[in-house]
Amino acid sequence: MFWTAVGFLAVGTLARFIPHPYNMTPLTAMALFAGAWLPAPVAFLLGVGALFVGDVALGWVAQNLMGYVAIGVTVLLGLGLRPGRRPVAIAEGTLSGSLLFFLLSNFGVWLEGLLYPRTWDGLIACYVAGIPFYRHQLAGDAVFAALLFGGFALVCRWRGWMASSPAAARP
């Protein structure tokens, strides 16, 4: 089961390099999934590592510190899903992780002071300018979370890995 989860995350990491609408990537969903299904140290390594690999390849590392914080916190949200991994809790975690990434990454852009003045009005302008990108992010997070969690549940059920009770399904 561990390697199947890692495989799902590897595919998600590669999906970042496929042409896609801006901000519609599997990263937040992957962080939530990793936290829900993998041992905590591995989940953090893969969640933040997937972002780092993409950032190095795309040349964005220095600009994305708040993104790393958001992905790390989203892994923590995933750890909180472990008792049962219920669909409603997964949806709540997906929405929370998506909103958290939006808030922190835009705050980081504002904090740099290159695009917006470091004033209250500059912060509001930064968040307003980010809304069109957030629509893509939220849609991507919802789709990728459904694919990761749903696909993994189907594979586990097919392989007979999941027990009937949520408590027995914990790693």
Contacts of 24 (CB under 8 A, 6+ apart): 136, 137, 139, 140
pLDDT digit string (tens) for 22-67?
Answer: 778 888 999 999 999 989 999 998 888 888 887 887 777 655 789 8
Q: What is the pLDDT of residue 117?
A: 96
Q: What is the pLDDT of residue 8?
A: 64
Q: pLDDT-derived band of residue 1, with 50, 70 and 90 as boundaries?
A: low
Q: What is the pLDDT of residue 61?
A: 60
Q: Where are the domains of the chain?
A: 23-169
User: What token pair was written down for 18?
Assistant: 């496929």
Number of residues that this document lists for the chain: 171
Given a cut of 60, whether residue 167 has pLDDT beyond it is no
pLDDT digit string (tens) for 107-162?
Answer: 999 998 899 999 999 999 999 999 999 999 999 999 999 999 998 888 888 877 66
- Cα gap 8→31, rounded to integer Å: 12
pLDDT digit string (tens) for 74-97?
Answer: 999 999 998 777 899 999 999 999
Q: What is the pLDDT of residue 140?
A: 93
Q: What is the pLDDT of residue 70?
A: 94
Q: pLDDT-derived band of residue 15, with 50, 70 and 90 as boundaries?
A: confident
CA end-to-end span of the chain = 9
Given a cut of 60, whether residue 9 has pLDDT beyond it is yes
